[in-house]
Amino acid sequence: MTAPVRTRTSSELIQAEEPVLAHNYHPLPVVVARAEGVWVEDVEGRRYLDMLAGYSALNFGHRHPALIDAAHRQLDRLTLTSRAFHNDRLAEFAERLAELTGQDMVLPMNTGAEAVESGIKVARKWAYEVKGVPADRATIVVAADNFHGRTTTIVGFSTDETARSGFGPFTPGFRIVPYNDLAALQAAVDETTAAVLIEPIQGEAGVVVPDDGYLTGVRDLTRRADCLFVADEIQSGLGRTGRTLAVEHEGVVPDVLLLGKALGGGIVPVSAVVGRREVLGVLRPGEHGSTFGGNPLAAAIGTAVVELLETGEFQRRAAESGAVLREGLGELVGKGVVGFRARGLWAGVDVDPAIGTGREISERLMREGVLVKDTHGSTIRLAPPLTITEDELRCALRSLEKVLAA
């Protein structure tokens, strides 16, 4: 086997993208060519600590040996059947994912947005068939500053003008209330409400952690109002916050969980709607589907991801290293950091705008060998692989301190 011949430099590759690639992203000027664990390497061989981890799609780091091994073994046997036939990997994936999350049934999909769309369809069907909402009257209550994906229905209930504008007309049936406000939620819920759809922690909004009691309040309120609690754990779930699910911090069990990102082990897109039998049971053959959802390669990798989480090791590491992260960020408050929110290995850090925008800080950190992503304004988001060592984490924090002091 011969190594691929490298013909273009990083800057040549960045320039080559410009005329041929849709401009829907503004990436940092780094061209990654290989990676292992928490480290990525660019075309010129420069190494960077990955403090973003693919927005939590890489919770186990790049190319975790157990996940790569599961993928290789499956690649050599069977990759795709479509759901027209059964495959020999799907039952185990569903059994173990349901067991891990304490739910009954699994609807396998591919991307996060598809899981959200599927959750919306299931909630509406449940509202008509079980709750008895009159046809086409179902509403779903969502939170301001949400991020649930990029489809037309989903951006239709976003409050981010950049994500929305120019893409209408939008799907009706959504009500938007402020996040972390139980009174507003209570006022928005009525006999037409199929579900309350929220992120237990709002990631894209800047890792916004609601007050203690909010998730419990949402659970109580939805139970009293006879509507579903749908928790979008696509970014917050699967170990990131120091628990398998972010809702566990309040001991809350939603009716429906939306999972994605880390479920694919950083190898393939894998998402799922996981829920109670009375809810997911409303779907019958032909009513919903996906050509790739539940494919044997995805199921094999997803099963290996669940297997890693079954040990509890990654949740424990996120909690322990998370304490180091929180302490380190605490020391930077007043030294360029004006505030931060953190849970587990996940933090939104507000930098003094006088020092720079989130984008500028991210570029300076990149030159120090640390990759992060701004959210908006002067907020940067830290979400390293859960496998990061405390030394590596301290190293990243020192780079941040240096950039803020410069």
Ligand X SMILES: *Cc1c(COP(=O)(O)O)cnc(C)c1O
Catalytically active residues, by annotation? 147, 232, 261
Give the separation between CA 117 and CA 121, rounded to whole angstroms: 6
Shortest distance, position 25 Cβ to ligand X, whole Å:
12
Closest CA to 196 of 204, 186, 205: 186
Residue among 53, 113, 272, 301 that touches ligand X (CB under 6 A): 113
Shortest distance, position 232 Cβ to ligand X, whole Å:
5
Residue with Cβ nearer ligand X (198 or 403): 198
Residue with Cβ nearer ligand X (147 or 346): 147
Residue with Cβ nearer ligand X (42 or 145): 145
Within residues 128-167, the interface with ligand X by CB under 6 A covers 147-149
Shortest distance, position 259 Cβ to ligand X, whole Å:
10
Structure-derived torsion over alpha carbons of residues 175, 180, 181, 186, reported in degrees to the nearest 10: 60
Judged by CB under 6 A, the stretch of 106-114, 275-283, 309-317, 320-328 that binds ligand X is: 106-114
112 belongs to the binding site for ligand X (CB under 6 A)? yes
Query: Which tokens hold the place of 76?
Result: 């050599």
Residue among 117, 232, 248, 255 that touches ligand X (CB under 6 A): 232
Shortest distance, position 260 Cβ to ligand X, whole Å:
5
Q: Where are the beta strands (DSSP E) in 233-282?
A: 256-259, 271-275
Judged by CB under 6 A, the stretch of 27-35, 216-224, 227-235, 362-370 that binds ligand X is: 227-235
Within residues 331-350, the interface with ligand X by CB under 6 A covers none
Give the separation between CA 400 and CA 285, rounded to whole angstroms: 52
237 belongs to the binding site for ligand X (CB under 6 A)? no
Shortest distance, position 35 Cβ to ligand X, whole Å:
19
Type of residue numbered 404: L
Within residues 243-282, the interface with ligand X by CB under 6 A covers 260-261
Query: Which secondary structure element, helix H or strand E, spans residue 156, and what is its range?
Result: helix 152-156
234 belongs to the binding site for ligand X (CB under 6 A)? yes
Say which residues have a Cβ less than 8 Å from residue 175's Cβ, sequence separation at least 6.
139, 140, 141, 142, 188
Shortest distance, position 208 Cβ to ligand X, whole Å:
12
Pairing of strands 337-342, 32-36: unpaired
**Contact predicate 393/326, CB 8 Å:** no
Pairing of strands 337-342, 370-371: unpaired
**Rounded (5°) CA angle 7-13-19:** 125
Residue with Cβ nearer ligand X (112 or 336): 112
Residue least distant from ligand X (Cβ):
112
Residue with Cβ nearer ligand X (106 or 230): 230
Query: Which secondary structure element, helix H or strand E, spans residue 387, and what is its range?
Result: none
Say which residues have a Cβ less than 8 Å from residue 341's Cβ, sequence separation at least 6.
206, 207, 208, 209, 347, 348
The gap from C-alpha 323 to its chain's centroid, in whole angstroms, comes to 21
199 belongs to the binding site for ligand X (CB under 6 A)? yes
The binding site for ligand X (CB under 6 A) comprises 55, 111-113, 116, 147-149, 199, 203, 232, 234-235, 260-261
